[in-house]
């Protein structure tokens, strides 16, 4: 009998994570009966000790906040994609014990957009300025041919977003959050803010909106996503992102490709419906 292979998602808080549901669905579909996927409540202080204790049965880790940057010093190598935003959400352990870091959030965003027919836009808007916003800029650097406007709450956040734009090769203009409704004139709007933040903007959705990418998956749909769909606009949700980035993680950790996208999405939808 082959030895068990292990993977897990780490973060704090972690109880809400859908990653175990998605990865386990993939293992079932791929016939990987000797693979397990767990979740561990780990903060930045506990991360080095946890990683050092992992044995050769470990294939990989998924990382959520606040560990995406804390993991980098513990790795032997990171991909160019991860380096571009200084954030790792995927670790793969090689047979010779090396730790390789990657960021599947960025290609996951692009895959989710492609699925809705969005391959290139002339301009875009980003709501928010946190870690997910920097990933959004990295994704936009590959598909946006013009300016990106970031709507933020402070001068410090504005400066940070302009800095990310310069680093990623994106022309970023910043605007105050009070003007956030103006984002909806762009062909693509990416909302990266916490739950409830954009609810007040739902009444400002225009009659013919473009595409909304709202990275939240719970609660879903958001008030903004509902209003957007009611006005005939295309909506990409947080579950789309979560599934697509998890597909890439499964492929990297197991070496099996393609990962079963449909089965993973179905499992995620069922888990959310049961909450």
The answer to whether 131 and 103 have CB atoms below 8 angstroms apart is no
Which structural domain, as residue segments, surrounds residue 189? 107-236
66/128 same-domain check = no
Q: What are phi and psi of 122, to 5 degrees?
A: -80, -30
Share of the chain above pLDDT 70, in %: 99
For 22, phi and psi rounded to 5 degrees? Answer: -70, -50
Q: Note whether 232 and 118 are same-domain residues.
A: yes
- Please count the other Cβ atoms lying within 10 Å of the Cβ belonging to residue 148: 25
* Same structural domain, 98 and 198: no
pLDDT at residue 50 tops 80: yes
C-alpha to C-alpha distance for 136 and 129, rounded to whole angstroms:
10
204 pLDDT exceeds 50?
yes
Domain shared by 131 and 230, yes or no: yes
| Judgement on whether residues 69 and 119 belong to the same structural domain of the protein | no
Instruction: Note the pLDDT tens digit of each residue in 172-182.
Output: 999 999 999 99
| Average pLDDT, integer, range 234-252 | 98
Number of domains in the chain: 2
DSSP states along 123-180: -EEEE--SHHHHHHHHHHHHHB-S-EEEEESSHHHHHHHHHHHHHHT--EEEEEGGGG
Residue 71 confidence (pLDDT) above 90: yes
Asked if residue 44 and residue 148 are part of one domain, the reply reads: no
Instruction: Count the alpha carbons within 13 Å of 269 in the hemisphere toward its beta carbon.
Output: 8
Which residues are known catalytic residues? 68
pLDDT per residue as tens digits for the range 259-275? 999 999 999 999 999 98
User: Residue 1's pLDDT band (boundaries 50, 70, 90)?
Assistant: very low
3-state SS track over 52-116: HCCCCCEEEEEECCCCCCCCHHHCCEECHHHHHHCCCCEEEECCCCCEEEECCHHHHHHHHHHHC
Whether the Cβ atoms of residue 226 and residue 202 lie closer than 8 Å to each other: yes
Mean of all residue pLDDT scores within the chain: 96
In this structure, the answer to whether residues 94 and 191 fall within a common structural domain is: no
Residues 112 and 97 in one domain: no
| Rounded-to-integer distance, Cα 126 and Cα 119, Å | 17
- Same domain, yes or no: 156 and 210: yes
Question: Which pLDDT score is estimated for 94?
Answer: 96
For residue 2, what pLDDT is reported? 56
Q: 150 and 267 share a domain?
A: no
Tell me the C-alpha distance between 165 and 229, whole Å: 29
- Both 35 and 111 in one domain: the answer is no
pLDDT, tens digit, 9 for 90 and up, residues 111-159: 999 999 999 999 999 999 988 999 999 999 999 999 999 999 999 999 9
CATH code: domain of residue 216: 3.40.50.720
- The CATH number covering residue 30 comes to 3.40.50.10860
């Amino acid at each position: 009998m082959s030895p068990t292979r292990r993977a897990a998602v780490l973060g704090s808080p972690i109880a809400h994570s859908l990653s175990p549901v998605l990865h386990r669905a993939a293992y079932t579909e791929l016939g990987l009966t000797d693979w397990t996927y767990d979740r561990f409540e780990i903060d930045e202080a506990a991360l080095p000790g946890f990683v050092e204790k992992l044995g050769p049965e470990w294939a990989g880790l998924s990382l959520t906040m606040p560990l995406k940057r804390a993991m980098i010093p513990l790795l032997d190598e990171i991909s160019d994609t991860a380096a571009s935003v200084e954030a790792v959400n995927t670790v793969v352990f090689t047979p010779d014990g090396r730790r390789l870091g990657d960021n599947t959030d960025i290609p996951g965003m692009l895959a989710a957009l492609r699925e809705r027919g969005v391959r290139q836009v002339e301009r875009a808007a980003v709501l928010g300025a946190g870690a997910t916003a920097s990933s959004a800029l990295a994704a936009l650097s590959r598909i946006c041919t013009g300016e990106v406007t970031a709507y933020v709450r402070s001068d410090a956040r504005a400066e940070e977003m302009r800095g990310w734009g310069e680093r990623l090769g994106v022309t970023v203009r910043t605007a105050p959050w009070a003007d956030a409704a103006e984002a909806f004139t762009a062909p693509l709007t990416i909302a990266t803010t916490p739950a409830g933040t954009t609810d007040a903007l739902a009444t400002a959705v225009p009659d013919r909106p473009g595409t909304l990418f709202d990275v939240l998956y719970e609660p879903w749909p958001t008030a903004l996503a509902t209003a957007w769909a009611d006005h005939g606009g295309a909506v990409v949700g947080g579950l789309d992102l979560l599934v697509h980035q998890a597909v890439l993680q499964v492929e990297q950790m197991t070496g099996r490709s393609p990962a079963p996208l449909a089965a993973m999405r179905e499992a995620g939808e069922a888990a959310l419906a049961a909450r």
